[in-house]
Structure 1
């Protein structure tokens, strides 16, 4: 298992020293942990301590990532989930976990292992048992899935591909700004794992939705998301809602896959914050 970097270890030590409720953020493909910077400030201003570890071997900056894309290759779902599973063991208090896209899938897997106090999965990638595969999802995945060799590669999205998959609900100007500021290559492996999840009984892309230790879960869906369409999140909700813990679905009208980083990020953060605050107060 890849261990936390010295910087990440210092962040965990700082969180423990604060005595505050920790919130762990998990990013998805084509973004870095810095994509959560606004969210971290938002939650810290409201009395939480926050951590945003990257995926294993993630560079610190977008510039470094684009100069050395090969570091993203070969990252599997289980490898990344195991990496984030170190967080609860490093913390004195069980954390809240918030994830986006593949990070939303990983957040649900951590909850399945009873490692989070409250979980928020935003536009989460689907898991085994989630059956809808809308055309927009296929088109968004095509830059990876169109070439089997990409399974072992890091894949960078062109602006046009990022525009379709992430920023389709935004103006051209904002879409370009977000691409330049945030977009980095991503591992092709998880995309292939997700695409084959319903054909592979041993897939790493699965969640035990009946685990009674899962805890409260909020699923957030962007109505106009092309990468993880609303139908996919609704299908995940239908599986998760049978859990004995609370499961809630919140649709965000007019929002695409960029909803955590675009001009409307605060609205999504407020939805997540309200759910987390309520559930933590119930658990006290």
Structure 2
């Protein structure tokens, strides 16, 4: 993940008894091929603006470095969307108050699922993987995920992510030298079952489903990347339309 841009100054927060109410924790959820380390600069950025941000990795990752996970990736084998969601539910329920949930790629899908289950005061999906029922698939997405989806025998495996695959999927706005630095620091194997669940659930249902009609769902901001190869802008636009349609039908 690149460093976040400087935000537009927000309106002054109302004070209570002479003290500003505590800011909600920001829960950052990474996507496939990454760990919570990818948010390290975001955590520092939010801290400089008075927020506590946490970025716990998916279940089974523990506090291991990406290099350690690449050396022993068995925790990623057979990992499911349901297991990841339950992992973050447990984290959210341990916090003193509901957090702002922010996720990238599959983390953005998990953000939408968590909001539709009633968790969080607000959500942000950055180039979020599409929920079940959002049927749009771009050629660049197929190419970026072909290392997994191109081989049905990867269904429950941990699949390596090569330097060239990383450069196409995440480092396409960088030269190969810059991309290699990020690949070495952040990348891990793919939890292939999660990706297969996302792909097979496109027509609807499954663990990747979002309750679009939940009337009291917290507000959601979707952010698209102009040159994103994994989740192109058109996919995020389709997610926005589906979310807005769900809002209208619930009102």
Unaligned runs of 5+ in 1: 1-17, 246-284
Aligned 1:192-271 pairs, distance under 5 A: 192-199=196-203, 201-244=204-247
The gaps in structure 2 that reach 5 residues or longer are 1-20
Between 203-212 and 117-126, the greater mean CA deviation after superposition:
203-212
Displacement of 1:169 in angstroms is 1.7
Q: What is the aligned-residue RMSD (CA, Å)?
A: 1.6
Cα displacement (A) at 1:108 = 0.6
Contact 1:151 1:192 in 2 (8 A): yes
**Match of residue 138 from structure 2:** 134
How high is the TM-score relative to the length of structure 2?
0.86
Shift of 1:198: 3.0
Return the alpha-carbon distance in structure 2 between the equivalents of residues 53 and 179 of structure 1: 19
CA positional deviation for 1:244: 4.1
SS at match of 2:224: strand
Report which of the two has the higher share of helix: 1
Cα shift at 1:19: 5.1
Q: For 2:115 and 2:180, how far apart are their aligned partners in 1?
A: 35
1:78: Cα distance to partner? 1.1
Which position in structure 2 is the counterpart of 1:112? 116
Please list the CA deviations of residues 185-235 of structure 1 after superposition, one character each: whole Å capped at 9, or x if unmatched. Answer: 121011111111134x54111111121121111111111111111111111
Q: How many residues align?
A: 227
Give TM-score scaled by structure 1 length. 0.76
1:100 aligns with 2:101: no
Q: What is the deviation of 1:85?
A: 1.0
Q: Does 1:88 align with 2:88?
A: no
What residue in structure 2 maps to residue 32 of structure 1?
35
Distance 1:243 1:167 in 2: 34
- What is the rounded CA distance, in whole Å, between the counterparts of 1:115 and 1:180 in structure 2? 34
2:15 aligned residue: none
1 CA distance for matches of 2:65 and 2:139? Answer: 33
Matched, 1:64 2:68: yes
Q: Is the 8 A contact 2:109 2:128 kept in 1?
A: yes
